[in-house]
Structure 1
Amino acid sequence: MSAPAFAQTIDSSAGKLTATVIADGLSHPWALGFLPDGRMLVTERSGQLRVVHDGVVGEPIDGVPNVYNEGQGGLLDVALAPDFETSGQIYLTFSERAEDAGQQRGQGTAVLSAKLVLDGDGGRLEDQKVILRMNKFTTTNRHFGSRVVVGTDGNLFVTLGERGEQDRAQDFGDLAGAVARIAPDGSVPADNPQVDGWAPELWSKGHRNPQGAAVRADGQLFTVEHGARGGDELNNPQPGANYGWPVITYGVDYSGVPIGVGTEKAGMEQPLFYWDPSISPSGLAFYDADLIPEWKGDLLTGGLSGQVLVHLDMDGDTVVTEERLFQGELGRVRDVRVGPDGAVYVLTDDGNGKLIRVAPEGK
């Protein structure tokens, strides 16, 4: 499968930007990772992990776990270990079936550690090990999350949706509706919050469906999560903090009925920024390259229902302005990453999903 000729140029705060399709034919791609040799890894929700090279989508990698591919479930995020060049270690998040997890019924989000062995534009996974799984599986087919990002200390942050069961986000023995933090082998870091009554893996709670996560150079974690009807949020999850869902929210139920007690409550954190109406944010990246110097230190996220690439101009932890780019032009933006060349790469969530490169015109 090779990419068609397609490019579009728009005006932006960084001058003229061109979006160019570099690969297509992907089945609902979910996440993107960059290999040291310039090739890319792409997950497809239906359960395939593929290598993309020079616009060609390779054959599926062997050894990917069996996934629950229904509703919003499937093969989700991918991240490379910091020592990937020597270890080949990668992490995948996916929705796992009960029968594959020793559970009685249902499905839940899990994290797999494996060694990626490449062979041409294909390869295989070896030494697979599930290093985290939800401690409560249920039969809903939505709100799995899920991103996995490596912190500056080498530990992993994992975002977990509340599975469409709101109250689970306020159950502190439950890993749903949360950010978890684990070591690369799945053990619990000694400096996790360890709040009384909290599951030991928990970093923060009160999240709805976080589908974007990024770590800033200073080690701070940022996430974006879906609200209901309105109330999508950008957060900077702190250890032991409660972000309020479903007690506080800036959105309402899809029926229009209010949710919770309003937008504030003592002991619950406020978002750094929120969207109303929703854009359904997915994917999150700090821009830390030189190709677009105007965006240095800023955040980028995608919008699914908003069909948009969003640039958030950041001043420390404060969003100064929001800029919406290519709105309605690219499709449902599922993931956003900054490539080693400094360009911005996005994946579109579609049966014929695309990998798109965004860069200054002529670069």
Structure 2
Amino acid sequence: DGRLLVSEKRGKLQLYTLHGDTREISGVPAVAYGGQGGFGDLVLHPDFASNALLYFSYAEDGSEGTGAAVARARLDLEALQLQDLEVLWRQTPKVDSGGHYGHRIAFDAAGYLWISSGERQQFDPAQDMNSNLGKIVRLHDDGRLPQDNPFAERGAVSAEIWSLGHRNPLGLAFDAQGRLWSVEMGPSGGDELNLIERGENYGYPLVSNGNHYNGRSIPDHSTAPQFKAPVVSWSPVISPSSLLFYSGSEFPEWQGSAFVGGLSSQTLVRLTFDGTTAREAQRFAVGKRIRALAQGPDGALWALEDERRLTGGRLLRLSKQR
């Protein structure tokens, strides 16, 4: 209906109207705020109009540390409340780290739930099939495991894994042809746009087009063709935070393009596609760290800034100059 839901890192869920009114939604679970942890992604169920289900991710505390969780709840817009909350998925294991949660959420046209899971700054779990860290996960919308997942026969946590070898995938989106793409924060150099395919291994931490922050080199993807290489790689980095395929009428010339929000680069990057190949077509200097992107029902682009020490983050509506 044109209203916006915005998650704030400290654990607030806000409802915004186009008239500037703001209301807080109650019933949000306690979040583990700190480092990169806090309240995360928000996605409406494809049948939200009939079931009122809101899916969301957040960092939670545990005895062994912190980890991301994905839950769903019924959103009562009259009572301004989340009801009947269910946790559907958790990162395994929880670790003593404040970073690389990933926890982006997307639905495909068939109604499957997809989750990106960062490797939590632990490196090796991205290659460990007994952990869902550093993976892309595919579930039914109620959290059940699809029997046709690539590693379903292995059981346990392996059964939820669709792809592995990821570092910190912070954008997850389907194109108009139903292909799944992800943007991934690299180490020192080597940010990635990946085409996510069934059972593929994307190589981290064994390969990357960047290096460790301490200067230690990581072999490039070109040295190990058994790993799936990125479609686009950025060095210097853009620090990708989000991914959106544009289909609106406000900018018809951009239909089919994807937009990537940039953190350290403080940019909005437009990508164009030719089948399974892509290239950077434009880069817009925004001057602020862009954390999240969305497309409005009128085709306008919406961007959410990070809050910084001295200034609050802004919610921006981007439309054609008239």
TM-score tier, shorter chain, comes to over 0.9
- What's the Cα RMSD here? 1.5
What SS does the corresponding residue of 2:34 show, helix, strand or coil? coil
- Give unmatched runs, 5+ long, in structure 1: 1-36, 99-103
What TM-score, normalized to structure 2?
Answer: 0.95
Give 1:339 deviation, angstroms. 1.4
2:112 aligned partner? 155
Show the 5 A alignment for 1:5-84.
Answer: 37-56=1-20, 58-84=22-48
Between stretches 190-199 and 301-310, larger displacement belongs to 190-199
What SS does the corresponding residue of 2:158 show, helix, strand or coil? coil
Give 1:294 deviation, angstroms. 1.4
2:125 aligned partner? 168
Identity %, equivalent residues: 39
Does residue 312 of structure 1 match 2:276? no
Give 1:225 deviation, angstroms. 0.7
CA 1:256–1:55: 2 relative to 1, 3 Å:
farther
Q: How many residues align?
A: 317
Give 1:56 deviation, angstroms. 2.7
Deviation by residue 1:126-181 (Cα, 9 ceiling, x = unmatched): 01000000120011000000210011110111001000001110111210001001
1:343 aligned partner? 300
CA distance in 1, matches of 2:134, 2:36: 15
1:19 aligned partner? none
- Give unmatched runs, 5+ long, in structure 2: none
Between stretches 288-297 and 300-309, larger displacement belongs to 288-297
Which residue of the other structure, out of 109, 112, 137, is the alignment partner of 1:180? 137
2:230 aligned partner? 271
CA distance in 1, matches of 2:147, 2:280: 38
Letter in 1 for 2:270: H
CA 1:261–1:225: 2 relative to 1, 3 Å:
closer
Q: Which runs of 4+ in 1 moved over 2 A?
A: 54-60, 195-198, 259-264
Give 1:190 deviation, angstroms. 1.9
Which residue of the other structure, out of 103, 107, 119, is the alignment partner of 1:146? 103
What SS does the corresponding residue of 1:200 show, helix, strand or coil? helix
Give 1:328 deviation, angstroms. 4.5
Give 1:250 deviation, angstroms. 0.5
What SS does the corresponding residue of 2:294 show, helix, strand or coil? strand
Give 1:262 deviation, angstroms. 5.7
CA 1:135–1:228: 2 relative to 1, 3 Å:
same
Letter in 2 for 1:52: Y
Letter in 1 for 2:190: G
CA 1:360–1:323: 2 relative to 1, 3 Å:
same
Which has the higher relative contact order, 1 or 2, with Cα contacts under 8 A spaced 6 or more apart? Answer: 1
Show the 5 A alignment for 1:58-137.
Answer: 58-98=22-62, 104-119=63-78, 123-137=80-94
Letter in 2 for 1:355: L
